[in-house]
Amino acid sequence: MVEEAPSDRGAPEQGALFPDLSLPDELVGYRGPAACQIAGITYRQLDYWARTGLVSPTIRSAHGSGSQRLYSFKDILVLKVVKRLLDTGVSLQNIRVAVDHLRRRGVRDLARITLFSDGTTVYECTSPEEVVDLLQGGQGVFGIAVSGAMREISGTIHEFPAERADGVELLPGEDDELSRKRRDRQTG
């Protein structure tokens, strides 16, 4: 079982993904096909994980024929983490435990953790000291930097069509807040 680590251990923490405190707009979401491409999963996986409650869309669920699920940035991040855990051999049962733990975290918190696993158990690491403690048992472990997955998603997510859950139409070429801040930072 993954236990929640205390937030203040007095140790240095990983750098924040969004140093200027900009976060994706919570009302902007991505439909299933875009979420699949961004997270690197199949639509069949996405559908199964949504139906079984592993990763459900938080912006809009599908309600009947013709309705579209809408996945948030955080949902897509969790999808990518699930995919990476599966790729390294972690069982779906253990992934469910990890995902339940991740669900309780905000996007800012997720940018500061790394997940580790010995193929059986999933561990959380928020500081270099915790990595040392995990490796002392002699078990081989691997790490998934959630912040790395966030950077990957942030780099490609703007290439996909998005829509707002509140019905306000996004104009073609209209950037979300994250894209505007990224563009402003690049242009100086």
Residue 135 lies in a domain: yes
> Quick one: pLDDT at residue 24?
67
State residue 133's pLDDT score: 41
Residue 7 located in a structural domain: no
pLDDT of residue 121: 73
The DSSP element (H or E) to which 117 belongs, if any, is: strand 114-117
Give me the amino acid identity at 23.
L
pLDDT (0 to 100) of residue 76: 92
Mean pLDDT per 10-residue interval, the chain, length 188 residues = 42 43 72 94 95 90 76 91 88 83 71 76 71 45 77 86 86 63 72
- Does residue 6 fall inside a structural domain? no
CATH code for the domain in which residue 86 is found: 1.10.1660.10
Is residue 4, in this structure, part of any structural domain at all? no
Residue 2: exposure state from Cβ atoms within 10 A (0-12, 13-18, ≥19) = middle
Alpha helices (H) along the chain: 32-39, 43-51, 73-87, 92-103, 107-110, 128-135, 146-156, 177-187
Determine the structural domain holding residue 91 and report its residue range.
Answer: 28-170
Asked if the structure places residue 2 within a domain, the reply is no
Inside any domain, residue 176: no
Eight-class DSSP state of 14 = P
In a domain, 149, yes or no: yes
C-alpha span between 171 and 156 (Å, rounded) = 19
Total number of domains in the chain: 1
pLDDT score of 172: 64
pLDDT of amino acid 80 = 93
- Domain assignment present for residue 175? The answer is no
Structure confidence at residue 188 (pLDDT): 67
CA distance 146 to 51: 24
Q: Cα separations (Å) of 167 from 39, 60, 114, 170? A: 25, 12, 35, 9
Residue 46: predicted pLDDT: 95
